[in-house]
Amino acid sequence: MNLIWRTLTHLLVASRAKRVDVFDVVRSRFRVLPTDLDVNRHMNNGRYLSIADVARFEMLMRTGVWKVLMSNGWYPVVQSSTITHRLSLTPWQRFTIESRIMAFDEKSVYLEHRFVVKGQLAARLVLRGRFLKRSGGTVPLAEISKAVGVDVSDRSVPEWVQRWAADVTLPSTRQPTPSVWED
């Protein structure tokens, strides 16, 4: 229930906030609630991903990308993500998520979410996503550029992100899944 209220609140915030450019950093403000905590009394590691979803939705709304997606019958999905934690977030602590689109390749978009407390980086989430068509298939880079009205091809994927994306990509679902653990 907590995430529903957060989503609705940030939807309202995004609808009233100043529109920003597609590649701008969007700052979303949050507070650690008791329902975010794990047994160690700090924010649960899984909650970071859920709250980043809310911040990402706000970013898509404020940049106008959400409207473009909906009008074209497209929708975003997360393919892979990685998060690195530096500082614990504690009960009632305020924090900001700084969200930005990092880069694009032919099929994917790469985003970064930075969890910041009083100017200190608490955690960093990097994710790879795609825009899919409700009619089926992936939205090509050229269609995204045209619909959003910006050239996304000049946002090349950093080398370390390319290596990470290649390392975490799973095989096609058409391939059999191994029955034993492999290194």
Full DSSP string of 118-136: TTEEEEEEEEEEEEEETTS
> 138 with 117: CB under 8 angstroms?
no
The residues, any chain, with a CB within 8 Å of residue 71's CB and separated by 6 or more, are none
Per-residue pLDDT of the chain (183 residues), as tens digits, is: 678 889 888 888 888 899 999 999 999 999 999 999 999 999 999 999 999 999 999 999 999 999 999 999 999 999 999 999 999 999 999 999 999 999 988 889 999 999 999 999 999 999 999 999 999 999 988 898 899 888 877 788 999 999 999 999 888 777 666 666 665
> 139 with 132: CB under 8 angstroms?
yes
